[in-house]
Amino acid sequence: MPKFAIGEYIFQSEKEAQDKINAIRHNSIEDTPLIGEDDTFMRCLITYHDDYGRTTRFNYIKHIAIRRSFCRQTGKRIKEFYIENFDGTLDVFSGMLKHYVGIPEDKKLRAYIGECCGLAIRDVILEVKLKAFSYDSTSIIKCQDTGISLNWNDADVDHSGEWPMSRIIDEWISTVTLSWDMLAPAKKLSNGHKLGGHEFKPEYAEKFLRFHNERAILRVIDHIHNIRKGNSGYRRVKKPSDQKSFL
């Protein structure tokens, strides 16, 4: 019996549907409009997005494409979906099913809260990396775990010790009553591009940031070493000269 449907597309599980979305994102040519089956599927998926029908966000789609961009949550360069509208504006949207109708509300809220926690510490992560590089992204530093030489793009900011980011988030969530009232729409970038999703209202961002800073031990380490440890890391924070577009 099929367990998950996106329009006429039937999947045996939510994971199978997510795998299809991920495959489109990873296999598509960057900044090239999707065509054929991939385009048809993604346009169908958008009709299940939380914002579809509630706002005019998806009313003027010219094409859907993939680009490599800066991830606000992890500080890495990632491939993401975006829409180019007929007026030339770009709108990034999520390929994660937690943003779509049909996912249980409690699971969806927990996922949003986790993203917002990552956003709340973005300035802290950037400052740690800048300080390690003496505010010069052309510098070479030593990995605080292995001692090997690192340039800016090879360096991750790692939550070390007994308080990885996942534990900090879980422990903080246990101290609050989760509510959609904690969230506000994510801000526009300074370059005018829109971002989907949410971030904390200021009072909750401050509360999480305080909780995080009282526990986190942050180090700058080699990206490959970090992956081998099983962490995703906070890697490709943009070079200082590029920061104004994202912070």
φ, ψ at 107 (rounded to 5°): -70, -40
Judgement on whether residues 79 and 119 belong to the same structural domain of the protein: no
Place of tokens 């509630």: 54
Chosen domain end from 69, 99, 129 = 99
Q: Report, as an integer, the average pLDDT of 211-228.
A: 88
Residue 193 is assigned to a structural domain of this protein: no
**Residue among 173, 72, 183, 70 nearest 123 (CA):** 72
SS3 of residue 105 by DSSP: helix
Judgement on whether residues 110 and 224 belong to the same structural domain of the protein: yes
Judgement on whether residues 133 and 223 belong to the same structural domain of the protein: yes
Given this model, what pLDDT does residue 211 score? 97
Judgement on whether residues 155 and 217 belong to the same structural domain of the protein: yes
Given this model, what pLDDT does residue 243 score? 36
Q: Report, as an integer, the average pLDDT of 98-115.
A: 75
- Residue 238, Cα to own-chain centre: how many angstroms? 14
Judgement on whether residues 113 and 231 belong to the same structural domain of the protein: yes
Question: Diameter of the chain by CA atoms?
Answer: 58
Task: Answer whether 101's CB lies under 8 Å from 5's CB.
Answer: no
Judgement on whether residues 109 and 89 belong to the same structural domain of the protein: no
Judgement on whether residues 138 and 202 belong to the same structural domain of the protein: yes
Average pLDDT taken over every residue of the chain: 81
d(Cα 204, Cα 212) in Å, to the nearest integer?
Answer: 12
Confidence of residue 188 (pLDDT cuts 50, 70, 90): low
Judgement on whether residues 9 and 72 belong to the same structural domain of the protein: yes
Number of domains, the chain: 2
Given this model, what pLDDT does residue 234 score? 43
Q: Report, as an integer, the average pLDDT of 164-188.
A: 88
Given this model, what pLDDT does residue 240 score? 44
Judgement on whether residues 92 and 21 belong to the same structural domain of the protein: yes
Judgement on whether residues 11 and 83 belong to the same structural domain of the protein: yes
Chosen domain end from 55, 73, 99 = 99
Judgement on whether residues 136 and 212 belong to the same structural domain of the protein: yes
**Which range of residues forms the domain containing residue 56?**
4-99
Chosen domain end from 99, 126, 150 = 99
Judgement on whether residues 123 and 234 belong to the same structural domain of the protein: yes
> Which of the residue ranges 4-18, 26-40, 138-152, 199-213 would you say has the lowest mean pLDDT?
4-18
DSSP result, 37-86: HHHHHHHHHHTTBTTBTTBSTTSSEEEEEEEEEE-TTTSSEEEEEEEEET
Task: Answer whether 101's CB lies under 8 Å from 17's CB.
Answer: no
Confidence of residue 96 (pLDDT cuts 50, 70, 90): confident
Confidence of residue 115 (pLDDT cuts 50, 70, 90): confident
**Residue among 224, 242, 217 nearest 137 (CA):** 242
Residues facing residue 68 across a β-bridge: 79
> Which of the residue ranges 11-20, 25-34, 187-196 would you say has the lowest mean pLDDT?
187-196
Q: What is the pLDDT of residues 38-74, one digit of tens each?
A: 999 999 999 888 777 666 778 889 999 999 875 555 5
Confidence of residue 102 (pLDDT cuts 50, 70, 90): low
The CATH number linked to 21 is 3.10.450.40
